[in-house]
Each structure stands twice: as C-alpha cells, then as structure tokens.
Amino acid sequence: MAKKILVTGGTGLVGNMLTKKLQDQGYEVSIMTRSPEKVKNLKAFYWDIKKQEIDEKCLDGVETIIHLAGENIADGRWTDERKKALVSSRTESIGLIYDLMKRKEHQVKTVLSASAVGIYGDRGEEILDETSKPGTGFLAHCCEEWEKAVEQGTDLGLRVAKFRIGLLLTPKGGVLDIFKLMVKTFTASKLGSGEQWFPWIHSDDLIGMFLWAVENEDAKGVYNATAPNPVRNKEFTKTLSDVLHRPFWPFAIPKAMFKLLMGEKSELVLMSTHTKADKIIKAGYTFKFLSLKTALEDLTR
C-alpha cells in the first residue's frame, strides 16, 4: 500500500510541484485547504487557520506531514498587521495540526517543514551553516518563530526536519520571473551594491530534498536548502543576462530606491546571506544542479 503524505500549503508554488512529484513516485497525497471542493485530482481536507477549524479525518493513515503553509512573504507592504499574518499563517497552521494529534489517534511519524535562509538576517561576508545564530530583522524573527512552532513536534515523538530555503528558482512563477523581466526589458543591473550573497537553489533540488527526507529516517534537524555555490547579486544577474543573451549594465539601482519603494521589505533583495550546504551533502543528498549557469539554462529553455 502506498504511503500517505499530508501536505499543507499544497496549492502554493512549491506545494504544486511537490504534490505532483510525490504522486509520480507512487505516494498517496492529500492537502489542506479552505476550499476542498475546488481541488482536482487530489484528496483535499478542509481547514481554516483563523477560525481554528480542521477536518479531523485529515490524519487518517498519514505517516508523513509536509508543512509548506504560509502567506506569501513578498505580497503587500509589511505593515504591523501584515507581519503578524505572515508569522501566524506559518505557526498557527502547524499548531492546529499538532493540537489535533494530541487528541486523536494517528500514525504520523515525520514532519518535514519549509523554513528560509531569512533566519540568518543580513550577515555580509559571514559564512553561515546550520549552527549559526539567527540574525535580526523581521525575516529572521518570522523564520525563528516558524521553526520553533514546527519543532514542537519533537515533544510528540516525531522526526522533524526543517529546510531553510534560499532564492528558489522555478520554471514559472516566483522570483526568477522578476529577474527575467528585468533582463528582457534591458534593465538588468546590480541591486544596491550588488555584493550581497544570493544563496540560490533549483526547484528540482528543493523537491529532491523533500523526497530524500521522506525516505531517509536519519534526516532530522535543520538543513540549509541552498546550492553549494552561492553567488553575489551582480553575478546572478550577469549570468542570467548571458544565458538570455541580453546586456548587463554596469550601473546600480540604489539601495535608497528599494527602501523608498519597498520599505522594510527591501531586505528581501538587499540582505546578504552566504550559506553552506555541507550538512545535507554529508547526510547523503546529491545535488542535481551545482552551477548557477547550468540551473538557469535548464529553467529558461
């Protein structure tokens, strides 16, 4: 019988790719959603995080939960109300499932969760591994609260693994579309100083990491979900320009402009995070894409 996996955030960018891949691999996949009736080709269960309502049948037969739920960090301005929603959508969602597990018999053994390299904050040239302390700023706070909420699963005897995702590169949607638009409209240049480190990862490798962790019972704790070779912002944009055969201009878009237009959210593009991927490599995961150029060529074909 196929293993049952429950995915939160299954209708999002990563969730869509992951659920399809899991189904292709023979897993029985279900998702959580406020509108189960709208979901096609996938079993869906109702929940409403704000109302703290959940269909208790969602755990029946499930061995692994993959937690991807959370409002899009890039949407809207970071008002106080918006920041509260960004945190609560990540923490209260997994909390709702853990509360259900405390009062209902279940077979869940493993919880795998997304997190983000934003937990490190803006760290300049510092090389960051999973033992590095959290940084400052809203992104760091959000990710730290997210991970703390997920980690509560260990008190329930679960195997818990969290993936600190870097700049996720996908064939459609996501941040790469924004950079491609810049390049194709001949406005490709450095963002701010251009020296900030971008810890990127190809979507195939992120999905591969989750699949690896589903089967690998030794996968637990925190992993940097970033390619082993991070690049600086200027190198990232220059490489994409080369791949798309468009010019890269030597001028820079000033930091002040981003801060004026985006406010506190400007840290999404200006922060520098130089991560290492040694831990997951030593644990046995083999990257498909090590070179940014190769990754971008694959994603822009």
pLDDT in tens, 43-65: 999 999 999 999 999 999 999 99
Total count of domains within the chain = 1
Kindly give the interhelix angle for 175-184 and 233-243, rounded to the nearest 10 degrees: 60
* DSSP string across 239-287: HHHHHTT----S-EE-HHHHHHHHGGGGHHHH---EE--HHHHHTT---
In a domain, 180, yes or no: no
Residues 223-239: what's their mean pLDDT?
Answer: 97
- Stated pTM of the model: 0.95
Kindly give the interhelix angle for 203-215 and 13-24, rounded to the nearest 10 degrees: 50
Please report the pLDDT score of residue 257 as a whole number: 85
Cβ atoms 204, 198 nearer than 8 A: no
Q: What does pLDDT average to over the chain?
A: 95
In a domain, 60, yes or no: yes
In a domain, 251, yes or no: no
Residues 81-88: what's their mean pLDDT?
Answer: 96
- Give the range of the structural domain holding residue 94, as residue numbers without chain letter: 4-170+199-228+274-288
Identify the DSSP state of 221: E
pLDDT confidence bin for 1, thresholds 50/70/90: low
Please report the pLDDT score of residue 269 as a whole number: 86
Beta carbons within 10 angstroms of residue 28's beta carbon: 16
Q: pLDDT tens digits for 125-182? A: 999 999 999 999 999 999 999 999 999 999 999 999 999 999 999 999 889 999 999 9
What CATH number corresponds to the domain at position 122?
3.40.50.720
Please report the pLDDT score of residue 162 as a whole number: 98
Please report the pLDDT score of residue 64 as a whole number: 98
Which residue, 93, 52, 55, 44, is CA-closest to 71? 93
Give me the percent of the chain exceeding a pLDDT of 90.
Answer: 88
In a domain, 282, yes or no: yes
In a domain, 127, yes or no: yes
Of 256 and 98, more confident:
98
In a domain, 261, yes or no: no
Whether the predicted pLDDT of 2 surpasses 80: no
In a domain, 239, yes or no: no
Cβ atoms 271, 196 nearer than 8 A: yes
In a domain, 265, yes or no: no
Q: pLDDT tens digits for 251-272? A: 888 888 888 888 888 888 899 9
Main-chain dihedrals φ then ψ at residue 286, nearest 5 degrees: -110, 120
